[in-house]
Amino acid sequence: MSDASTKPLIFISYAHADEPEKPADGQVQWLSFVRTFLQPAVKNGIFALWVDRHMTGGAKWQREIEDKLRACDIFILLVSANSMASDYIVDKEIAIIRERQAKGDDVHFYPLLLRPIPKVALDKGRVMNLRPRDAKPFSAYAVNDREQHMTEAANEIAEIAERIVKQKGVVSRAQLPFVHTGTVAQVVLPLLRGQQPVEKIKILFVSANPIGTTQLKLDEEVREIEAKIRAAEHRDSLELITKWAVRPDDLLQSLNQHRPHVVHFSGHGSLTEEIVLLDKLGEPKPVSKEALVSLFRTLKSPFQDLIRDYRAFAA
């Protein structure tokens, strides 16, 4: 069971014509059909489910729908000729999800094919990897087979949600005892006043993006830091050292080798104030705050006080 802070949110997008209030003989209320198979996972706290029917009377429906689209972790699209003919679904709902994906948001697009639909409609919405797996619509199956395929889809959605929960336990850009290098010129130099002069202030940029975690734009961050250093008044006094895909042993080696005055970590951190490095297989390897503090204390550097001040500054 997930707690409220990590429970994935699922948004179901559907055409109202596919959920008739009074279905005629042979008609299926497709939204109700899908929700029936997802409800056990909702009851067990695996994920939360949202559809537009959850809106209260008088709500600003467009704003609320957009808010949920931008917050959801899984976007389930009920694919039919009705939904793919809807300007709002194609040009608004799907467009927002694709926009988020293009920006690097880890939102899952999960299409369920209800009824037959022309290929051109799927191409317009860039709808791929349909379920059922053979892209045969649910409506083409007998009732028992239809329920079996929906059960498989519900199990897969629950597995995706559980993976999301694990990833949500790893939070980007942990606020740990490291300084943000973007302001290094404004912060480092005042702290150095009264210290023994040095030729260079060494800034160690440590990064890690393990397998299974949200992909971060680490190269862009380094470029931004380099640009700020170049623009700094005391740029000749600063040296940026970058270390990528760092494991715990790499961190220790880099600290001993370079004896940096400032350490900047870019990557993921846990809710319990760990930073997440890599193990030998590239999987996440959490390192506790206590271990980091102990490591820094063992460093024999004339700038030990400076490191301590940075920890206080970044806290």
User: Do 79 and 221 fall into the same domain?
Assistant: no
User: Do 65 and 145 fall into the same domain?
Assistant: yes
List the one residue out of 165, 175, 141, 198 whose CA is nearest residue 268.
175
- CA 107 – CA 160 distance, rounded (Å): 11
User: Do 67 and 90 fall into the same domain?
Assistant: yes
List the one residue out of 260, 201, 258, 187 whose CA is nearest residue 235.
201
Q: What is the pLDDT of residue 272?
A: 65
Residue 52 belongs to a domain with what CATH number?
Answer: 3.40.50.10140
User: Do 150 and 210 fall into the same domain?
Assistant: no
1 found inside a domain: no
Residue 17 predicted with pLDDT over 90 = yes
User: Do 24 and 164 fall into the same domain?
Assistant: yes
**Among 103, 133, 168, where does a domain finish?**
168
41 found inside a domain: yes
User: Do 43 and 164 fall into the same domain?
Assistant: yes
Q: What is the pLDDT of residue 286?
A: 87
- CA 205 – CA 242 distance, rounded (Å): 5
User: Do 181 and 274 fall into the same domain?
Assistant: yes
Task: Report the chain's mean pLDDT, rounded to a whole number.
Answer: 80
2 found inside a domain: no
Q: What is the pLDDT of residue 77?
A: 96
8-12, 34-38, 196-200: the lowest-pLDDT one: 196-200
Q: What is the pLDDT of residue 175?
A: 33
Helix (H, G, I), strand (E, B) or coil at 303: coil
Residue 193 predicted with pLDDT over 70 = no
User: Do 89 and 177 fall into the same domain?
Assistant: no
List the one residue out of 217, 222, 216, 220 whose CA is nearest residue 203.
222
Q: CA distances (Å), 10 to each of 65, 160, 304, in order? A: 12, 11, 48
Number of domains within the chain = 2
Q: Give CA 190 to chain center in angstroms.
A: 37
Provide mean pLDDT across the span 58-79. 87
* Whether 79 contacts 119, CB under 8 Å: no
Q: What is the pLDDT of residue 111?
A: 94
**Among 112, 145, 168, where does a domain finish?**
168
User: Do 49 and 126 fall into the same domain?
Assistant: yes
* Whether 154 contacts 46, CB under 8 Å: no
List the one residue out of 231, 235, 241, 237 whose CA is nearest residue 205.
241
125 found inside a domain: yes
List the one residue out of 30, 26, 36 whose CA is nearest residue 18.
30
88 found inside a domain: yes
> Which position has the higher pLDDT, 11 or 294?
11
User: Do 56 and 150 fall into the same domain?
Assistant: yes
> Which position has the higher pLDDT, 36 or 304?
36
Residue 302 belongs to a domain with what CATH number?
Answer: 3.40.50
133 found inside a domain: yes
Q: What is the pLDDT of residue 305?
A: 36
Q: What is the pLDDT of residue 275?
A: 86
Q: What is the pLDDT of residue 7?
A: 86
> Which position has the higher pLDDT, 106 or 232?
106
12 — phi, psi (to 5°)? -105, 120
8-17, 204-213, 227-236, 305-314: the lowest-pLDDT one: 305-314
User: Do 308 and 217 fall into the same domain?
Assistant: yes
275 found inside a domain: yes
**Among 118, 143, 168, where does a domain finish?**
168
Give 137's pLDDT tier (boundaries 50, 70, 90): very high
Give 60's pLDDT tier (boundaries 50, 70, 90): low
> Which position has the higher pLDDT, 112 or 223?
112
Give 122's pLDDT tier (boundaries 50, 70, 90): confident
Which domain covers residue 234, as residue numbers? 171-314
Residue 184 predicted with pLDDT over 50 = no
User: Do 27 and 67 fall into the same domain?
Assistant: yes
3 found inside a domain: no
Q: What is the pLDDT of residue 141?
A: 96
